[in-house]
Amino acid sequence: MSPSSFNFVDAKDKFTASAVQALTGKSIKPLISIFNQIPGNEAEKKTTLDQALRGVLGDLIVEQKARCDDYLALIYLSIDGVTEGICSATTPFVLLGDVLDCLPLDLCDKIFSFVEENVSTWKSNSFYTAGKNYLLRMCNDLLRRLSKSQNTVFCGRIQLFLARLFPLSEKSGLNLQSQFNLDNITVFNKNEQESTLGQKHTEEKEDGMEVEEGEMGEDDGPAPSSIPIDYNLYRKFWTLQDYFRNPVQCYDKFSWMTFLKFSDETLAVFKSYKLDDMQASKRKLEELRASSGEHVYFAKFLTSEKLMDLQLSDSNFRRHILLQYLILFQYLKGQVKFKSSSCVLNDDQAAWIEETTKLVYQLLREIPPDGDKFAAMVEHILNTEENWNAWKNEGCPSFVKERTVDDKPKRPTRKRQAPEDFLGKGPDRKIFMGNDELTRLWNLNHDNMEACKSDSREFMPSLDEFFAEAIEQADPANMVEEEYKVVRNANYGWRALRLLSRRSPHFFQPTNQKFKSLADYLDSMVSKLAKELPKDIPSEEIKTGEEDDDDNGDNLLKDSNDSPSIQSKLVTNQQMDDVAAKLGAQWKNLASHFEMKAAELREIETDSEDVDMQAKLLLVAWQDREGTQATVENLVAALNAAGFSQIADGLSEA
């Protein structure tokens, strides 16, 4: 018997009736029961249940008799449905969006309180991926309906909710390109003819005239302002707000001159007319705090000419303006990734900003109450902001670092006792190594490992540089006695061996020659290295005291004038490098024509595993054995005999 087909209309009716029953009983069990009874696959049933829940919500909204609690009960029901796996993860967010779109703002406030309280639910794995875009769209729709000046608190709650919902590295909520809100325009009187500043009030108030809220009566009127306010000061002061709104203008030459002039005059007024505790109305401020316990905040500046003298005498207003200067200066000096290449300060601008920043901090410290504390807090916050700027410039990397999971658990190992445990601690503790020289070297630095990593110790001289003195002393023309040659120095010999092992293939070349001492060996090596020196090194006859040892054929360099033809035909180190690179793994074919013994070939293979180096060692061994007969002509003949005619032709042409 074939299973019955899925009927969408019938299933939706059953889900709708079960949803109403579940709302009445405040339990998800009726929905789970009917979900299991209806035939069909889970995807079809989930989609049908989603439509049924939206239909129930629509009926509640149309009846206009439901309360916010009824809407929230249905949303809670959908959340339980997601947890039980009977409806889609996006359903609660769709229902929330429908409710907020259909309700007035006063009821939206209550619904949004529910959204704020369940932020942990929205951040869980079951809901976050599916619902983050819905929540972002819902919040943006709410912000478009709200007035930034009338519903300031509600707008702030929405922004704080988004900050709690999304991680810090979420780029959708970041101003990555450092764009400014250019719509925030400060409106003020730009027509001097309509200005009332400077006019004397000659009319007296009529008896019985009502005083509007926000105005001052005769008894409450402030003392005559000591700050000379005219229209020019008023215009220049409020014009600065345009630069704070769009700091990029400061990079323009003419706009910068205007900003510089207006800023100097404004800050001069702040500096000349300082506030004291009486002018700051400290007593009235304490009364305000005692009565309401809250600070007064305005979303926009009031730019009436009548309020200018009161504003300049208000400590909070001055702090607002000076803080705007500091934020502007930080942007102009800072490194912003998306700044244009033309947005660069010249030396004069940078110097003026540096001086003005010091003046602004000085003015902040002089504003009562608690000026020093306020200035220190502002400086700390702006310094912290530099870290955020650097983080944005680096592309907003995630703050969450994933742990490396080791497949094999580490066995606890017993650590060897540290030297501090038995030698004592403290910088003055001297460690004795059993030898005066070792003790001195060990205690040169408190951390020897860090001292060994110093850049000053990372060096390796070239062969020409290190052996230049030894080659020069080997020249009989310089008449250096044997006992004064550097090769007789044990320290020099030790360093020479280390350098030869790193730089010269001669070090690994096997030889039958016997050396009585290290100095004799270095004399022989100097002889070989002298052949490879650059042309600017004198090539006169160099002897090492082995003139009588003619059996091995390794005499030192002879006078180039005596045998120019032989000297010009000797194989150079560069030529050997080129031939070795071309031979590669086929170097053994050439070894048979060099008449090399099997023991010598095994030794070459043991010295290096690299085939190019093995080929180079073969050529070096041949050069050491042949001496002055290691010419290009002989090498070309051997290459041709071994079947490497192309390599031989290239060597002949070179």
Are residue 427 and residue 485 in the same domain, yes or no? no
Q: What is the pLDDT of residues 613-623, one digit of tens each?
A: 888 888 888 88
- Residue 477 inside a domain? The answer is yes
Domain boundary among 498, 529, 560: 529
Q: Which of 25-34, 429-438, 463-472 is the most confident on average?
A: 25-34
What was the pLDDT predicted at 327? 94
pLDDT, position 205: 40
Q: Is residue 358 part of a domain?
A: yes
As a three-state string, the secondary structure of 311-338 is HHCCHHHHHHHHHHHHHHHHHHHCCCCC
pLDDT digits (tens, 9 = 90+) for 261-280: 999 999 999 998 887 755 55
Tens of pLDDT, residues 165-176: 988 777 777 777
pLDDT of 42 strictly over 70? yes
Q: Are 78 and 57 in contact (CB under 8 A)?
A: no
- Give the range among 151-160, 497-506, 526-535 with minimum mean pLDDT: 526-535
Q: Is 67 in contact with 28 (CB distance < 8 Å)? A: no
Q: What is the pLDDT of residue 79?
A: 93
pLDDT at 384 > cutoff 90: yes
Give 234's pLDDT tier (boundaries 50, 70, 90).
very high
According to the per-residue pLDDT averaged within each range, which of 29-33, 222-226, 285-289, 348-352 is highest? 348-352
Of the ranges 346-360, 382-396, 490-504, 629-643, which is most confident? 346-360
47 vs 506, higher pLDDT: 47
The distance in angstroms from the start CA to the end CA of the chain is: 92
> Does residue 221 have a pLDDT over 80?
no
Same domain assignment for residues 82 and 122: yes
Examine the pLDDT at 649 and tell me if it is beyond 90.
Answer: no
Mark whether 16 and 146 lie in a shared domain. yes
3-state secondary structure of 362: helix
pLDDT for 278 equals 52
Indicate whether 244 and 369 sit together in one domain: yes
Most confident of 415-429, 459-473, 563-577: 459-473
Q: What is the pLDDT of residue 4?
A: 59
- Same domain membership, residue 358 and residue 249: yes
Examine the pLDDT at 364 and tell me if it is beyond 80: yes
Q: Which pLDDT value is given to residue 67?
A: 84
Residue 181 pLDDT > 70: yes
Q: Examine the domain organization and report whether 362 and 428 are in the same domain.
A: no
Q: Could you tell me if residue 185 is inside a domain?
A: no
Model confidence band, residue 306 (pLDDT cutoffs 50, 70, 90): confident
pLDDT higher than threshold 90 for residue 362? yes
Give the model's pLDDT for residue 428.
Answer: 54
Q: So what's the pLDDT on residue 198?
A: 63
User: Do residues 495 and 594 both lie within one domain?
Assistant: no
78 has a pLDDT exceeding 50: yes
Does residue 197 fall inside a structural domain?
A: no
Residue 477 confidence class, pLDDT cut points 50, 70, 90: confident
pLDDT band at 246 (very low <50, low <70, confident <90, very high): very high
pTM: 0.47
C-alpha span between 146 and 173 (Å, rounded): 19
Confidence of residue 537 (pLDDT cuts 50, 70, 90): very low
Cα–Cα distance between 574 and 578 in angstroms, integer?
6
The reply to whether 534 falls in a domain is: no
Q: Are residues 240 and 387 in the same domain?
A: yes
User: Residue 206's pLDDT is what?
Assistant: 43
3-state secondary structure 253-305: HHHHHHHHHHHHHHHHHHHHCCCCCCCCCHHHHHHHHHHHCCCCCCCCCCCCH
Same domain, 439 and 328: no
Instruction: Reply yes or no on whether the pLDDT at 555 is more than 70.
Output: no
Per-residue pLDDT, 553: 41
Q: What is the pLDDT of residue 266?
A: 93
Which residue range forms the structural domain that includes residue 331? 227-285+297-394
Higher pLDDT, 344 or 198: 344
Q: Is the pLDDT of residue 407 over 70?
A: no
Most confident of 122-126, 437-441, 542-546, 626-630: 122-126
Q: What is the pLDDT of residue 216?
A: 44
For residue range 558-594, what is the model confidence (pLDDT) as tens digits?
A: 333 444 443 447 888 888 888 888 888 888 888 877 8
Indicate which CATH number applies to the domain containing 588: 1.10.533.10
Which residue, 129, 152, 167, sits at the end of a domain?
167
The pLDDT assigned to 545 comes to 42
Q: Mean pLDDT over residues 473-481, rounded?
A: 79
Angle of CA points 335, 186, 239, to nearest 5°? 70
pLDDT at residue 77, as a whole number: 92
Verify that 370 and 489 share a domain, yes or no. Answer: no
Average pLDDT over every residue of 94-98:
93
The DSSP result for 114-177, as a single string, is: HHHHTHHHHTSTTTHHHHHHHHHHHHHHHHHHS-TTTSHHHHHHHHHHHHHHS-TT-GGGS-TT
Omega before 369 within 30 of 0, i.e. cis: yes
How many distinct structural domains can be found in the chain?
Answer: 5
Dihedral (CA of 139, 141, 143, 145) sign: negative
Q: Say if 112 falls within a structural domain.
A: yes
> What is the pLDDT confidence band of residue 401, given thresholds at 50, 70 and 90?
confident
For residue 432, the 8-state DSSP code is P
Answer yes or no: is 202 within a domain: no
Higher model confidence: residue 79 or residue 594? 79
Residue 590 shares a structural domain with residue 524: no
250 in the same domain as 157: no
Residue 404, domain member (yes or no): no
Given this model, what pLDDT does residue 615 score? Answer: 85
